Amino acid sequence: MDGIGKTLLAAGHKTNYHEAGEGEALFLLHGSGPGVSGWTNWSKSMAAFSDNWRVIVPDIAGFGFTEFQEGTKYDIKLWVNHLVGIMDALDIEKASFVGNSFGGAVAVGLAVFAPERVNKLVLLGTPAGEFVQTPGLRGAWEYEPSLDNMRRLMELFPYDTSLITPELVQARYEASARVGSQEALRKLIPQPAAEGETIVKGFPAGALAKITAPTLVVHGREDRVVPPQCGLLIANSVPNADLHLFGHCGHWVQSEQPRRFVALVRDFLAE
């Protein structure tokens, strides 16, 4: 089945991951949402970096084909410890990280709590500060597995919905329909309030200011899942940061602007 790769043990979790190439370590970290995994987020991008880097694409604890454990508290501390555990299991002392949305938040956590393990950061559509829960995030929590529901949810993510192919919908639906998958996801993201607005909280400016790693912030101007103001907050708070805002682009920068995204990230990593 697409998405199942190698296995290692990290933070007590049987962990699924993919690997390609040689060189300095580069992690590609996936976002959250129904049916998400490292493979669905990054399978088309791995080859763009594996000529120069050792590319590692893990499924973060509780997501994809990595174990979800009932009774375990899933929070940023666990996810950072899980990431450190993956690095230790693969004998990687220091790496660069490209984090998509939730994966960007995990990368930020690592850069704040274990800065000695981080070389460079690339943060795509990453939440930060406080913002009102968007239709995309609300829909991810409320989603009930079906092909129609998956298509409707995915249409909130890119600017150009022609990117949403029947094959992509099918793959994400099948992953989301695994027993316990949606129940697990609901424990990992904020439950929408019954009435009024739900506030989503990411790392505040004070924590972001502690990041010492060179950071490239990438956001889609039309992102309806994580507002562009989050990217601006990160870029204004991290001491050594640049911001690139893609026009006519939603939440899937790596899929919506693949050529320009790869060129930008390769140039940044090679500096």
User: Which residues are identified as catalytic?
Assistant: 101, 223, 251
Q: What are phi and psi of 165, to 5 degrees?
A: -85, 155
Rounded-to-integer distance, Cα 28 and Cα 46, Å: 8
Q: Which helix (H) or strand (E) holds 25?
A: strand 24-29
- The packing angle between helices 102-113 and 76-89, to 10°, is 80
Q: Which residues contact 200 (CB under 8 A, 6 or more apart)?
A: 127, 130, 131, 132, 133, 137, 190
Q: Which residues contact 134 (CB under 8 A, 6 or more apart)?
A: 156, 224, 225, 226, 227
Rounded-to-integer distance, Cα 268 and Cα 271, Å: 6
Q: How many CB atoms lie within 10 A of CB 264?
A: 18
Rounded-to-integer distance, Cα 244 and Cα 229, Å: 13
Rounded-to-integer distance, Cα 231 and Cα 70, Å: 33
Rounded-to-integer distance, Cα 70 and Cα 268, Å: 40
> Could you tell me which of 217, 216, 219 has the C-alpha nearest to residue 253?
219
